[in-house]
Structure 1
């Protein structure tokens, strides 16, 4: 990877060594409401799985005598959860409450009294069902968020059975005995199904990309560095947000600063990406020794009067033209220190220190070193979202060249500024922006899309305010 390709990447990136996060994600009450809608749909499907086993009993009915009955093939016809709410419980998680729910079931009945046997079907209407559950939010050993059912209570307000067929007009007289039995059977099944619905959310949470591949050299870790922080208004997730060489996780010699999120609630989710992550990327790529860029004449536009050959450079450095006439040249740009990124309000800047080595290409393709320049450069970045990736483009702010070593004598380095400015602007920056457009992955769950997104560059971090939508 070239130096300037990295500068494009690092200008986009957000950071951790300690328990301070490099990335912070906040789920607001609006996001929680969207989660409630998804959760109610899932719970409604779970409640459709209620299965009341066949059961039988006997009751003495006034004016009739002892009646033996059995109910079988009891199946759900419909489930309604018309009124539900979720609220945050500070320090714990989420409180879910459902009121006015109803369930309709259908089954078969069979009775025996005296010497009479009869059978038919029945409908059961469960009304005024209420459910209250607390969902604890935590993290697992891999840094994924988790949810679990902390407590649950269910109450069936009424369960009314209506018999059809046979002498059902008679059997409806003792339905109150059956109502109580069915009501108890329903209440026993609801909380286990709620617990299962909550547990079934964890496979989706496991899709958080705690280790997201950036390219063939690097990956970014989004594991949680501390348990979720639950307040009365939001849930905050503290993510590591650190770049690593693939297969070699080495910590940088610096740590992230504390991240604070502004008290905004108009969007579902807020993602704060710190400067630490960008600087961890610089550490990773520089240690890997891949922050280099080779520049040859075939990368220069054909119509440019400036060529990478000893004739062009010989105008400014006569010794080159005298000792190496008629040869093509090659420039190699590489970093000598870890590049550094900084965020200021509405501004992102990357400063890099490196060298530029100029070579003459001999007829046998060997390289002869001509001179080495010290390079100080600064680029600014414009960032934007492309799907679930943060992407952007860069512009050259400034560069400064000083002479390091030379085998072609002393010369005025300033005289070469126009050549290197052209190389940077015409060759390096466009290549850089192609890489930048690929972006790097944001923390996300599977099938998650961003909507109504706004992006701000603040002091020491990038803030993304967004709504989310899940597909599938």
Structure 2
């Protein structure tokens, strides 16, 4: 019995220590190849702007020693005809450049016995090979971290051409300067690469993992574990929790494990779990986003006054000889429930409603109150790098709690009015609040356009569904995106 309890305790502890993500990102080999192509173009631009420190040295020519200084070294042209990138399982990313070439210019000074001179130097480098392995991990704050794991470089040939006053010695000295230039470049390439990767890592740490969506909610994009690197792809597990602004209290539920499909024919896959949607629902509920007071000024699609009840609840219209403006107060009494089905996503809202007449001098008179439950269809779109959620009212049920006019026998008519009001005025206000959307990760400044969203069932022991989002085209590339939910 003790052994059974011990095994149960270990199992429970392992579950507590395991942090499942709310969002998953997968970068495939196709995505890595795209990043390499863009990265090589950016690297060329950076290399051409690069500056290098001066260095000095000494060379012996028979019995004569020559001291030299090379300064203002700069790269004028660079070519990367062959490059490749691949995933290193369990480590990170391997990048290599072969048969690269560059043209370098600099100033030189020479000091020898009975001879001083200065001028310009042009060095042509060919057969440059660079192989770099970058280790990716998660730091203590949940940021993606990059570290130079291995670096190898070699240069096949360096040709040096000098210009200056004493032209008769240029051809003699050029051959001797090729060796130190070759050695210096070969030695400093990996040092410069390490520095660049450290700068990239520092930039990654500056990125906010907590992004504010709007005045109500913020989303946590921190990594819950180090990236999982496989031969064909790399997975990033993100927390994907939505919080009310200023409140980082975790929701009273945890994400269940879910997996992206075993596919690599797209550049990028994004998995969105139902935990993400549930946490968003709870965050907006806690922030009061579902509590709406609808007045005459906000009801742009119809005139919200007592005369409007003429066709719904005549008693109300007859009670006010002069039509009075109205206030419609709706309050969610519990967090809306997200339900994922095989072909749709439904949001179930439970709340209460209070209706008031606005009398002269802005005083209000209570008319009736009741409970309501509403089912809304949820539509997901991706616009301008944001996941947009919009609602469409499908069903409404109303039960009267209290009324000063006693029209309980006309409940269906009151329900029709509330359904009309929600469709015409309230839901548009909620959609306007949700319209700013949830910011998606901006990978390599890629803009996703033309997404197609589908929901397909996942065969699991319990009811699960996944949402598929296929991005047909992007601003810079064609990249299908998969958005997949975990178990409900």
TM-score range, shorter chain: 0.7 to 0.9
- What are the equivalent positions in structure 2 for 1:93-242 lying under 5 Å apart? 93-106=92-105, 107-108=107-108, 110=110, 112=112, 122-163=121-162, 172=171, 177-206=176-205, 208-242=207-241
- Of stretches 189-198 and 97-106 in structure 1, the one that deviates more from structure 2 is 97-106
Offset of residue 206 of structure 1:
3.9
Report if the CA contact (8 A) 2:281-2:335 is conserved: yes
Higher relative contact order (CA 8 A, sep 6+): 1
Give the match for residue 371 of structure 1.
368
**Correspondence for 2:4:** none
Evaluate the alpha carbon distance shift between residue 68 and residue 400 of structure 1 in structure 2; reply closer, same or farther with a 3 A threshold: same
What corresponds to 1:53 in structure 2? 55
Contact 1:56 1:70 survives alignment (8 Å): yes
Displacement of 1:34: 2.7
Determine whether 1:414 maps to 2:412.
yes
Mapped pair 1:402 → 2:399: yes
* Counterpart for residue 431 of structure 1: 429
In 2, distance between residues paired with 1:389 and 1:302? 28
**Separation (CA, whole Å) in 2 of partners of 1:57 and 1:143:** 52
* 1:197 alignment partner, SS class: helix
- Alpha carbons 1:26, 1:271 under 8 Å: kept: yes
Query: What is the alpha-carbon distance in structure 1 between the residues aligned to residue 285 and residue 346 of structure 2?
Result: 18
Q: Distance in 2 between matches of 1:299 and 1:187?
A: 69
Indicate the RMSD between aligned Cα atoms, in angstroms: 3.4
Confirm or deny that 1:385 pairs with 2:409: no
Deviations 1:8-31 (A, max 9, x none): xxxxxxxxx972111112222222
Evaluate the alpha carbon distance shift between residue 363 and residue 112 of structure 1 in structure 2; reply closer, same or farther with a 3 A threshold.
closer
Deviation of 1:160 (Å): 3.4
Contact 2:305 2:323 in 1 (8 A): no
Preserved contact between residue 140 and residue 146 of structure 1 (Cα < 8 Å)? yes
State the secondary structure of the residue aligned to 2:225.
coil
Alpha-carbon contact 2:23-2:237 (below 8 Å) kept: yes
Q: Matches of 2:331 and 2:469 in 1, distance apart?
A: 31
- 2:298, 2:195 → 1: CA distance? 61
Matching of residue 35 in structure 1 with residue 35 in structure 2: yes
2:24 aligned residue: 24
Structure 1 residue corresponding to 2:451, chosen from 439, 450, 454: 454
Q: Give 1:455 deviation, angstroms.
A: 3.7
Task: Tell me if 1:336 matches 2:333.
Answer: yes
The whole-number CA distance in structure 2 between the counterparts of 1:286 and 1:191 is 53
SS in 1 for 2:64: strand
**Per-residue Cα deviation, 1:56-93 (whole angstroms, up to 9, x for no partner):** 22132xxxxx2333443352443333222111101111
How many aligned positions are there? 444
> Residue by residue, what CA displacement relative to the aligned partner does 1:345-372 show, whole Å, maximum 9, x if unpaired?
4422211111122334455544443432
Deviations, residues 156-201 of structure 1 (Å, cap 9, x unaligned)? 2233334556776766467655433332222111100111222222
Indicate conservation of the 8 Å contact 2:359/2:365, yes or no: yes
Contiguous gaps of at least 5 residues in structure 2: 1-16, 456-464, 478-488
Cα distance per residue 1:305-363 (max 9 Å; x no partner)? xx642783797475x57877657343321111110123334422211111122334455
CA distance in 2, matches of 1:322, 1:166: 108
Q: CA–CA distance in 1 between the matches of 2:34 and 2:297?
A: 54
Q: 1:312 aligns with which of 306, 309, 329?
A: 309
Contact 1:324 1:360 in 2 (8 A): no
Q: What is the distance in 2 between the residues matched to 1:423 and 1:265? A: 47
1:357–1:69: structure 2 CA closer, same or farther, 3 Å change rule?
Answer: same
Unaligned 5+ segments in structure 1 are: 1-16, 61-65
